[in-house]
Structure 1
């Protein structure tokens, strides 16, 4: 792969592991179509390509990249994003907080709870202190992020209903 990336003066973006793996699989398939170099007497040369073959592989890479989505358009979720989404799912499945329950909180309770977790104290906590379950800083921010998602989802549902989109 070093010869190919040197030929192209290109390195895969850190944020595109799926596209890079897809490309490697396609390249491996293409290389398997090249003349067989796997006999024991050819073993040391089996990964050597002449200049024309290298240019053909570089062209294959260029073709792949021209059809690949630009890195700026890709949507990859970070570990932090995944943790927030997982927490939101946990709030629904384990804690039992349904969308119908969230929709009852029309006085910024979800946002205020998120603010309390963000700053790490009960200053904005809208409910009984018995429901306050602080953790370490990162975990508190994950909880806050999940509560913000719940509030945004609630606002979106309310806006949809207000435009008769939710009429039955």
Structure 2
């Protein structure tokens, strides 16, 4: 199962060009997008495809592309991974800046 989340993250990077460098500073947006893909399934495992994204969707509505519950969970997991990577990058930048101040 976790392999599918990893594969989706790799797809986002290679096919969609959502690289870790592009995601820097966007952890909140990525988390909001992940939550959006999760929340649509709170009442139904099969929400209507397309349509209006839920409140809180951080991007243009043309980027909203729900599929099946399984697929949307994979996407949400990959978006969480991207958000964590963005936070890791921010932490690394801050640590580097602190170290530079000390030298």
Larger Rg: 1
What is the alpha-carbon root mean square deviation over aligned residues? 1.8
Query: Can you list the C-alpha shifts for 1:101-160, whole angstroms capped at 9, x where unaligned?
Result: 101415x10000000001125222101110001000110010000000000011011101
Structure 2 residues not aligned, in runs of 5+: 41-52
The 4+ residue runs of structure 1 with deviation greater than 3 A are: none
Deviation at 1:86, TM superposition (A): 0.1
Q: Counterparts of 1:131 and 1:122 in 2: how far apart (Å)?
A: 12
| TM-score (norm: length of structure 2) | 0.78
Alpha-carbon distance, 1:100 to partner: 1.5
SS of 1:122 mapped into structure 2 = coil
Q: Which residue of 1 aligns with 2:5?
A: 84
Structure 1's unaligned 5+ residue stretches are: 1-79
Q: Number of paired residues? A: 87
TM-score calculated relative to the size of structure 1: 0.49
In structure 1, the partner of 2:38 is 118
